[in-house]
Amino acid sequence: MAFTKNPELLKQLHDAVVEMDEEKTPLLCREALATGMDAYTAIMDGLAAGMDTVGRLYEEKEYFVPELLLCSDAMYAGLEVLRPHVKVGEHTAAGKIIMGVVEGDIHDIGKTLVKTMFEAAGWEIHDLGKDVKLERFAETLQETKANVVALSALMTTSMMAMPKVIGMLKTVDPAVIVLVGGAPLNAEIAARYGADGYAPDAIAAVETATRLITKAA
């Protein structure tokens, strides 16, 4: 497979997100694909790197919520182009997964990246979206009999709902595998919350879920 890591183009992708350019970002994404750049590299080292800078500008009070929204729109416009081209390695095991961002939290870019990787790996996905009512996860588990539930949170406040959701899920199905992720989490918090796994990024989420369902089989 052709694979280029064109630093100049990655920087342009980064800058287009930071500059809130919803028109230029998808054009650059098409250019990235045309040069043979790996779609996941373009997402992570281009678009998502741009969102990291945006986060820093927000912390430095140079950007405010309206700018964050416009940068997110640019990021999503680029993601639309790149998502269908994301590939993962061997489809060793694919399961059924429920995913969503917990109640009180509307940050869904990271969850969308996680979804993209599971799609590429051939999983059956039940995406509940963002700001998901806590009971909804357990209800959907009952309906779908999924083997994995992936919970995402981007705020230290919203992540505190996770132990409650995990408790509800384990009541429905003690064997269900619960994976958590999002910037404020880490493996230690995940274990304390009673999750079966933690993943720092979208690729690790698929790898961890695949390893856990294989182990449980």
Residues that bind ligand B1M (CB under 6 A): 48, 51-52, 54-55, 58-59, 65, 68-69, 72, 104-111, 113-114, 150-152, 154-157, 179-184, 199, 201-202, 205
As a whole number of angstroms, the distance between CA 29 and CA 75 comes to 10
Shortest Å distance, C-beta 76 to ligand B1M: 7
Strand partners, 148: 97, 177
CB of 109 to ligand B1M, least distance (A): 3
Half-sphere exposure of 97 (CA within 13 A, CB side): 30
d(CA 18, CA 132): 28
> Whole-number minimum distance, CB 153 to ligand B1M, in Å?
7
Rounded CA-CA distance 116/118 in Å is 6
Taking the least distance from each CB to ligand B1M, the nearer of 2 and 153 is 153
Nearer to ligand B1M, 14 or 34 (CB): 14
Of residues 34 and 54, the one with the C-beta less far from ligand B1M: 54
| 51, HSE (Cβ side, Cα atoms, 13 Å) | 21
Of 34 and 190, nearer to ligand B1M (C-beta) is 190
**Residue whose pair of structure tokens reads 């949170």 in the numeric block:** 153
> Closest approach of Cβ 178 to ligand B1M, in Å?
9
